[in-house]
Chains A and B, each alone.
Chain A
Amino acid sequence: DAGITQSPRHKVTETGTPVTLRCHQTENHRYMYWYRQDPGHGLRLIHYSYGVKDTDKGEVSDGYSVSRSKTEDFLLTLESATSSQTSVYFCAISERPGGLSPEQYFGPGTRLTVT
């Protein structure tokens, strides 16, 4: 298994509070991704990073921000959580998306509930 951890694994928070989810990898992969998984939608890309301090938006980026100050850590922040952000959040990593190793490997997920 790829060395990817996510913290926390479960979180319950109230509407309007800020929340930060952390993804940590030990594989030294350049690319990191945040997805959310909701019933009936599969996974949808929120943001991704292609290097330290280099990030870009995905399909469902509204209401989320990310930061990457070190290769191994990728943070996802909900500035003011809403009930529509209740979901399971997955982090993924990739070594060379455009090359011989385009696969993405996923962390264990974080279940976030916004009440």
Chain B
Amino acid sequence: AQTVTQSQPEMSVQEAETVTLSCTYDTSENNYYLFWYKQPPSRQMILVIRQEAYKQQNATENRFSVNFQKAAKSFSLKISDSQLGDTAMYFCAPLYNNNDMRFGAGTRLTVKP
């Protein structure tokens, strides 16, 4: 089974601080994509960032960046300068064989003022 593990069910961070969310996955695939999605209380799934497995350079998107370690099958998300609007569930999601997207159980992040 291509499992995805998010080992932190809940996390909290002070506004303006930095927080890192962890994700590990298990696959025998060599080429795939990795995504982080955010789900605020509105329930809408919002794409945060993506990473191609064949790229060694870590993706960044404004305050969001990833630490991708392919050999370790690790894909963590770092949020810098946390804002109240970052409060949400965050899901790690590898995409295999173009259409097989697997999701972790999520990390509930609370940003405290």
- Hey, which chain B residues are within 8 Å of A43, CB to CB? 45, 91, 93, 101, 103
What is the distance, in angstroms, from A55's C-beta to the closest C-beta of chain B?
11
Taking a contact as CB atoms under 8 Å apart, the answer to whether A31 and B99 are in contact is yes
Of all chain B residues, the one with the shortest Cβ separation from A41 is B105
Report the separation of the CA atoms of residues A40 and B6 in the bound assembly, to the nearest whole angstrom: 11
Structural contact, B105 and A97, CB atoms closer than 8 A: no
Size bracket of the A interface: 20 to 34
The one of A42, A94, A109 that contacts B43, using a Cβ cutoff of 8 Å: A109
How many B residues touch A, CB cutoff 8 Å? 21
Q: Please classify the interface of chain A as helix (H, G, I), strand (E, B), loop, or mixed, using the class held by over half of its residues.
A: strand
The A29-56 residues at the B interface (CB cut-off 8 A) are: 31, 33, 40-45, 48, 50, 56
Inter-subunit contact A102/B103 (CB<8 Å): no
Counting chain A CB atoms within 10 Å of each CB, which of B45, B100, B106 scores highest?
Answer: B45
Closest to A56 in B: B99
A102 & B95 in contact (Cβ 8 Å cutoff): yes
A45 to B94 Cα, complex, angstroms: 13
Taken together as a complex, chains A and B put the C-alpha atoms of A58 and B95 apart, in Å, by 13
A42 close to B95 (CB less than 8 A): no
Residue of A whose beta carbon sits closest to that of B106: A42
Chain B residues 59 to 113 lying within 8 A of chain A, measured CB to CB, are 91, 93, 95, 98-106
Q: Write the chain B residue with the least CB distance to A102.
A: B33
Q: How far is the CA of A42 from the CA of B44 in the complex (A)?
A: 13
B binding-site residues for A, Cβ under 8 Å: 4, 33, 35, 37, 43-45, 47, 50, 91, 93, 95, 98-106
Further 19 A-B residue pairs, CB within 8 A, beyond A58-B100, A109-B43: A40-B105, A42-B93, A42-B102, A42-B104, A42-B105, A42-B106, A43-B45, A43-B91, A43-B103, A50-B99, A59-B100, A88-B43, A92-B45, A97-B99, A102-B33, A102-B95, A103-B47, A103-B50, A105-B47
